[in-house]
Structures are given as C-alpha cells and as structure tokens.
Amino acid sequence: MGIIELDTDAKIIFIKSTIITYGNSVTYELTQQICDEIENMWNEPNGVVEIKNTNYTVRFMIDAQYNSLIVPETVLQNENPKNNYIRIETFSKINISFVDGIGSNTGYFLTDNLYLNSTSAAHEYGHSLGLVHPAELNIIGKGRPSIMYPRGTLVNPEFQYDVNALPAQNGGTLYPIHRRVMQIDIDNLQLKDKIEKDIFIIGKFSNKYHEAHVKEA
C-alpha cells in the first residue's frame, strides 16, 4: 500500500510506502534490505505513464522502519496509507511469505524467502499495490518472467532452479531470483486511471496484526 504523488513540473509520479517490520526474527538491517529490494526492483524499468498526452516517469520511494516493541493496537488503528506492517519469522504455518490479500498493507514474511535478491519482497509488494498473479503460468518461450509470476511457473531453462531439469519436474520451475519488474507491471497498477479520478492512495487498509506462528507439538 502507498500514496501517489504527482509532480507536474518534474513529470514524475511518486509511489511512497513505508515498510514497518516486527517479530522475533527481524533486524533493522534485514528491514533495510527488504526495502532496498523493493525500491530498486520497482524503479529498475524506469516505468512510464502517459497522462494528458504527457509522459511521466514512475518513481518508488520505500522507507524502512523496524519496531520491535510494536503493539497490536498500532496496526489495528493505523490510518496512514503509507504504512505497511510485516511480521518476520523463521517459521510460517504455510511455509511461505504472504500479504493479507490483494491490495493490503499487512503480512507475514518467512526469513527463508528473504535472502539477498530473492525478489520475494518485491513480489509481495506488488500484491500490496493490487496486482495478482498472471493467469497463464506456462511462459516457456516467452522470455524472462515479470515480478508477479509465482513459484511453480513454467519458464525457459535459464530461469529454472535447475537449467537441466525438465519442465515441471524437480528443479524445472521458476527460480524467483530471475523475476524482474517490467513496464507491464507498471501498466497494471492503473496509475493513469487513479490519478484522473483523483485517487491518490494505492492499495487498501487490511490493518491485521499477526502473532508468531507456532509449530504444533
């Protein structure tokens, strides 16, 4: 989730978000790594949106906050559309990182998914802005996968976990490190429509506080 700011002089559309982390397995350094990944990947394509016959560059600005003392009420009562609250732990009951729905501002990330350049945070950020997985998950022969393709997508061998594996077999699916944000992802944010309707918030308030998942005995 974030806010949209339009700079008509510089011809820039700014998307501004703050990632606020909490949990037993997070540090400020990891929080900053997550925010750097999101900001760098979403700025990489130098996205462009045309508004009233003028091209605007899209720029993402992602701030990092680590709050080890956060209380549920802070999340539940949040009214700032820039704020995204993410719990980070070494264990998840569903063994994957997630946000609380399409266009949400809260979630639960698994540390195993957050290695350097994993693209997991950038992918989940896309969900927080309202993006869904593409409908077609077999893109063999169609080049590099964009950021919203999920694990399990069938891709060219060079984008698999194992370049020698057969498609859909062990190692024969998308290795997430190969995903990239592309202009199509910027297009799918529908920024032109939002701005022309004077909508300057992207995403929705889910404001869900997560307790740490506990392994069953």
Q: Does one domain contain both 160 and 72? A: no
In angstroms, the CA 217 to CA 209 distance is 24
CA Rg, the chain, in Å?
Answer: 18
Is there a single domain that holds both residue 16 and residue 58?
yes
Q: Is residue 87 part of a domain?
A: yes
Residue 162 lies in a domain: yes
Tell the burial category of 151 from Cβ atoms under 10 Å away from its Cβ (0-12, 13-18, 19+). middle
Residues 102 and 202 in one domain: yes
pLDDT tens digits along 19-38: 999 999 999 999 999 999 99
Indicate whether 126 belongs to any domain: no
Domain of 163 in residue numbering reads as 132-182
Asked, for residue 121, whether it belongs to a domain, the answer is: no
Side chain identity at residue 180, one-letter code: R
139 in any annotated domain: yes
**Structural domains counted in the chain:** 2
Domain shared by 199 and 110, yes or no: yes
pLDDT, tens only, 85-141: 999 999 999 999 999 999 999 999 999 999 999 999 999 999 999 999 999 999 999
Name every residue whose Cβ is closer than 8 Å to that of residue 127 and which is 6 or more positions away in sequence. 99, 101, 102, 103, 104, 148
Question: Please, are residues 97 and 16 in contact by the beta-carbon 8 Å criterion?
Answer: no
